[in-house]
Amino acid sequence: MKIPINVPFIGKEEISLVTSILKDGALTSASHQGGKYVREFEKLASSFVKSKYAIAVNSGTAALQAALYAMNIKKGDEVLVPSFTFVATANSVVSTGAKPIFVDILKENYTMDPDDLQKKITKRTKAIMPVHLYGNVAFIDRISEIAKKHNLPIIEDSAQSLGSTYKRKHTGTFFDLGCFSMYPAKVMTAGEGGFIVTNSKKLRDKLLMIRNHGMIHGYDTKIFGLNLRLPEISAAIATIQMKKLSNFLKTRQKNAHLLSKLISDLNVILPHQRNYENVNWYLYTIAVSKRDKILKKLNAKGIGAASYYPIPVHRTPFYRQKIKLPITEWAATRVLSLPIHPKVTTGNIEFIAKTLRNILNE
């Protein structure tokens, strides 16, 4: 038995639509508004998260880059980000010439610590980029207060949190811009892809130019931009996936609740939802002592458990910084994610729970 940590759920509908696009030959579009399926996907995405606009791009990283460009982040600026995240968060900042300033996290849900955030604001700080890690919603009430006090824009890294809500409002829609990923391991996929949501027409118009070399009509570059366009094949996959997303999320929630019930008495720190929070259960993450030994034994039994992230961004060779982020360091040695995606069956969940129990009782 092999149970991977996350796999895309691709059906006949996606395959059929991609095949028809290949036959038609309209694989992409350089038009300002995007191709047929790009436009259709954007309508579905904005409807789902309840934003006025959605702008499709070719990756979650591209979404972050485009958002930073749209907010005029440049060389000499500082952007506050957590270190406990995928490296794309920091890399997108570096790509603008700005400097990522690493903020610690809260043990409660592994998202940005508002107190540490406050301490690290300087005259060079130009934006805050909280990450809704594992689908957990960052402490946006406190972060919002700090941002307003210092007149700073907020770009939400919502790559892992499509479908997560707080006070019935979707992540990505709390502030100026929200960035999502549609990488194959996410709760829905485009193969590769991402999108940005906003309620600002001004930002939406700017982002449409940024994703297409700064152009509107072609060869009329008005601002800096790149080729961040989403191909029609990817957009077509995403349109089908978006229609299935609600069911995907329901299955993840069912699996998460069952797993929590089965391992609630074990000596582990379980994931939980805060008041007014509804998470998408992108990654079901527990914290354990002797994590690496437990992880190795789970993998040996065919359970695709994984650690996100054993090396915080600030300790990677490229960023190596001697700074103190105690909770980040704590989490990096203890977190362990278990499979609960839609292809995981009730029997799989019971096997995962039983195997974890046996390992901890050895």
Category of 116 on φ-ψ map: left (φ > 0), alpha (ψ -120 to 50) or beta: alpha
CA within 13 Å, CB half, 78: 12
Whole-model pTM: value is: 0.97
Q: What does each of the 362 residues of the chain score in pLDDT, given as a tens digit?
A: 799 999 999 999 999 999 999 999 999 999 999 999 999 999 999 999 999 999 999 999 999 999 999 999 999 999 999 999 999 999 999 999 999 999 999 999 999 999 999 999 999 999 999 999 999 999 999 999 999 999 999 999 999 999 999 999 999 999 999 999 999 999 999 999 999 999 999 999 999 999 999 999 999 999 999 999 999 999 999 999 999 999 999 999 999 999 999 999 999 999 999 999 999 999 999 999 999 999 999 999 999 999 999 999 999 999 999 999 999 999 999 999 999 999 999 999 999 999 999 999 98
Domain with CATH 3.40.640.10 in the chain: 12-240
C-alpha distances in angstroms, 195 versus 40, 50, 115, 189, 234?
A: 13, 14, 30, 11, 12
Q: What is the pLDDT of residue 1?
A: 75
Q: What is the pLDDT of residue 346?
A: 98
| Alpha-helical segments (H) within the chain | 12-24, 36-49, 60-70, 88-94, 114-119, 140-150, 201-210, 232-263, 291-300, 326-332, 346-360
**Token pair 């005029």 in the structure block, residue:** 72
b or e along 343-355 (b: 16 or more beta carbons within 10 Å of the residue's beta carbon)?
ebeeebbebbbeb
Task: Annotate 195-230 with DSSP letters as a single string.
Answer: EEEES-HHHHHHHHHHTBTT-SSSS---S---B-PP
Q: Which of 93, 88, 102 is nearest to 74 (CA)?
A: 93
Model pLDDT for residues 320-342, shown as the tens digit of each residue = 999 999 999 999 999 999 999 99
Is 176:232 a contact under the CB 8 Å cutoff? Answer: no
CATH topology of domain 12-240: Aspartate Aminotransferase; domain 2 (3.40.640)
Domain with CATH 3.90.1150.10 in the chain: 245-360
Q: What is the pLDDT of residue 26?
A: 92
Helix (H, G, I), strand (E, B) or coil at 250: helix
Helix (H, G, I), strand (E, B) or coil at 100: strand
Q: Long-range contacts for 248-253 (Cβ within 8 Å, ≥24 apart)?
A: 248/9, 248/187, 248/188, 248/342, 249/163, 249/187, 249/280, 249/281, 251/341, 251/342, 252/187, 252/280, 252/281, 252/282, 252/340, 252/341, 252/342, 253/281
Is 229:28 a contact under the CB 8 Å cutoff? Answer: yes
Helix (H, G, I), strand (E, B) or coil at 142: helix
Type of residue found at 330: W
Helix (H, G, I), strand (E, B) or coil at 126: strand
Q: Which of 103, 122, 125, 127 is nearest to 114 (CA)?
A: 103
Tokens describing residue 271: 């994931």
Type of residue found at 74: K
Whole-number Å distance between alpha carbons of 235 and 182: 10
Is 117:146 a contact under the CB 8 Å cutoff? Answer: yes
Whole-number Å distance between alpha carbons of 226 and 197: 19
Instruction: Given CATH 3.90.1150.10, say whether it is the number of domain 245-360.
Output: yes
